[in-house]
Structure 1
Amino acid sequence: MNQHIAARKQRRIVGILVLLIIATIIIGMGMGYSSLSYNRLLPTLFGQGTFKEEFVLFSVRLPRIVITMLSGMALALSGAILQSVSRNDLADPGILGINSGAGVAIAVFFLFFPIDAGSFIYLLPVVAFIGAVITAILIYVFSYSRTEGLQPTRLILTGVGFAMALSGIMIVLISSAERSKVDFIAKWIAGNVWGTDWPFILAMLPWLLILVPFTFYKANRMNLLTLDEHVTIGVGVAVERERLGLLLAAVALAASAVSVTGGISFVGLMAPHIAKALVGPRHQLFLPVAVLTGGWMLLLADTIGRNLADPSGIPVGIVISFIGAPYFIYLLLKK
């Protein structure tokens, strides 16, 4: 009976989140440096707008809205996986340094491997994934103990240390780069959505189409991984194999997101916590809620950020940090 009640509650919350996302999309389509009248949105969507209206909506607003929403979903799901795999409520791809690893790989690729723009867009998630995987492997190795397994506290401390070290590497790269390329890296560090065109969506979408269903399919395994390790092994789960597969999924999700939105932290921390508070800790219930929450949070933060200061606005990474940093400190003190 409780499960039926929880499932009904989940469906209700999912419906509310979908409505919030739709409302934020509508608000975001009309607001911005080049405003678009709300009574012209529907005609423009159906091809009856002026050249300016169609350009603003289809070439500027909609690609950015879709990219921001998908990135928020990917980061939220990545954070949920990392929290389950590490059994640590403070895990997040930004805090653990995975985003920084992806960023360093993108910066090196951008600075030292000049290729044509068409190939560059589609290679970005791959390059980010390679950098993030190398970082994740190093963090895992330094956090793992043969006698006690994966150490949650050590995982966070190691991740923060790697994030700081990789930030230093990024500064060294900036100091040796030409001015035009420095601007790009600086925007990436600030969490500025820079991949605002349809090809970036096409480059990112395949990763989500594969990894989101894969993670939902592994929901029951993730329930078991949050239990004591001896219990998990006792029920027949190959712990290390499952952890490795899910860790790779989390890294790939984070890499695909930050390759087009820059170094955004805290979405992967907050969205799973909010989802668990709403529908409980069962992964079958909270994962869809976390995904929608992450998408809506980043979409809302970007809508606020790009309208606070004209013409370029405030990077979404900074807006999210204003909310996320105090929340991280609260969790740190509480846990």
Structure 2
Amino acid sequence: MASGRSERVYHQDYIARIRYSNTLPPPPNPPKLLDIPGTGIASNNYTSASYALKLAREQPLNIEADAELGMPIDLVGLPGVFDGDESDPPPPLHPKDRALLKPLSALGKPTAMNSGVSFLRRTEYISSNAAAVQRFESSTSKDLLRVRNDPKRRKAPPVNRDDPINIIRSLVKGFDVAYPEDAYTGPDSETNIRGAPITEADRSAWKKPKHPTKPNLTLLDAYPLLPDMDALPMTGDYQIVKFSTNPVAQSDSYDQRLDTALLRPLGADLALLEEHGESCFQFQRIREYETYQQAGDADNAYGDTVALALHDTGDRLEKGAYFYPVKQRTNLRPKRKTPGPPEEGRVEHVDVLHVNVRDSNSDEAAMRSEAQAALDPTTESA
């Protein structure tokens, strides 16, 4: 009698044993057959290590080795050793190798040999260098002070690269190289800091830039990195939302519905009633999605992802690479139907959305002005 229950399926891994062939070539010479007398297994000679050593000692060697094992150590037997035959002279010595052939007496710190100095002499500096004697000819306090305050002898203080002021100076130097007419040359203040000194190598690197790892590449065009102030929303950042699967059916033509997305907040708020006679955009409900992966930095919109768009000279934007901060990246997947009552205050089925477009109010305009002022200090916040 067959039961109505569905049998549970158990998954079991199959382990297959695979043998790999390791075919070795045959030996060049046939093996040597030894006539080993059979003493029987009872004598236990086959299992002892001395039995194999005894067989190896009894076999004569085919190679005749002399006392020096083939290496002629005795030079008397070599022809032309004592005849002065120098037909094969050694190669000439390289100039870089001459320092390796110095005698032991020449190694070490050289000492000054002053044979003309007597034991009884006045108190003064002794040096093997005549210039050094003339330099310290007079040891008055005035001369010592002059040598100490010599700017050529004074060493520059070490620069701390981790100092925030030095980091700002290095950043300002990059802008000074790009825009020398706008470089600030006054004293440091709370609002303006002078950039680090610009060297000739910095100017050459700006005029003829090279790839750090591929010097053979040639620069074709350059774009200044600028913010798109008019495209900033009131929050000051964007969000990237991706579908885990294709939201539309497979087709050869492009579905224009993919160009529009509506994000409905989870919190319940008051619905804004549509005024009479006002047109709106109507969107049909296809299916509902939920978030399952989110990434980003809520405190820093530039710390995770930044969108970049290249624009040539046009009507709205000048030539440049415009960046758009992305604070959050979200992945969507189709929402599964969960059994049980729906959440309190949440609308489960929204068949049609009527969307109206209006101008920003005062609060939204103030938020947008603050976001623009964070990128451009000259922008006045409302």
Normalization by structure 2: what TM-score?
0.17
Higher strand share: 2
Higher helix share: 1
Larger of the two Rg values belongs to structure: 2
Greater RCO, 1 or 2 (C-alpha within 8 Å, sep 6+) = 1
